């Protein structure tokens, strides 16, 4: 699953696995794995609602789900929600804010 922009957190509802050897979830950034989660050795059906994956200190733009050699494992994910990574302010924007503050200071001096 690829995202249009960088993501810092992903959550979903409804997650099911039964039988088999499990699977891995890999979070990638520009094609490089930044984090992975191994869910394995499931022998019965289970359900986790509203699970959240948090990757502290890293962002990702792609998730990869890989089944570990098995024919009986299945899973379902639904209602995906994600948080875009915080954008870093551009230096130009910060310069404009600085110029605005300097202009306000100059206008106050002239009035005084």
Tokens 């359900």, located at residue: 47
Extract the tokens encoding 82.
């994600």
d(CA 61, CA 80): 14
Q: pLDDT: is 55 or 11 the higher one?
A: 11
Vertex 72 angle, CA 11 and 63, to 5°: 30
Least confident of 46-50, 74-78, 97-101: 46-50
Mean pLDDT of 87-104: 75
Output the pTM of the full model: 0.58
Q: What is the pLDDT of residue 45?
A: 47
Q: What is the pLDDT of residue 44?
A: 46
> Do the Cβ atoms of 9 and 81 come closer than 8 Å?
no
Q: pLDDT: is 32 or 91 the higher one?
A: 32
User: Whose CA is closest to 9, among 49, 59, 43, 65?
Assistant: 59
For residue 82, pLDDT over 80 is answered with: no
Reported as a pLDDT band with limits 50, 70 and 90, residue 32 is very high
Extract the tokens encoding 111.
């009035």
For residue 76, pLDDT over 80 is answered with: no
């Amino acid at each position: 699953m690829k995202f249009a922009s960088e993501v810092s957190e992903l959550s979903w509802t409804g997650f099911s696995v039964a039988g088999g050897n499990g699977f891995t979830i890999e979070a990638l950034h520009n094609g490089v794995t930044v984090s992975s989660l191994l869910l394995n050795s499931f022998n019965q059906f289970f359900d986790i609602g509203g699970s959240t994956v948090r990757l502290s200190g890293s962002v990702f733009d792609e998730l990869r789900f890989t089944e570990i050699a098995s024919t009986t494992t299945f899973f379902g994910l639904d209602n995906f929600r994600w948080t875009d990574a915080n954008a870093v302010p551009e230096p130009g924007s910060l310069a404009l804010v600085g110029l605005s503050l300097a202009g306000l200071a100059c206008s106050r001096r002239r009035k005084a």
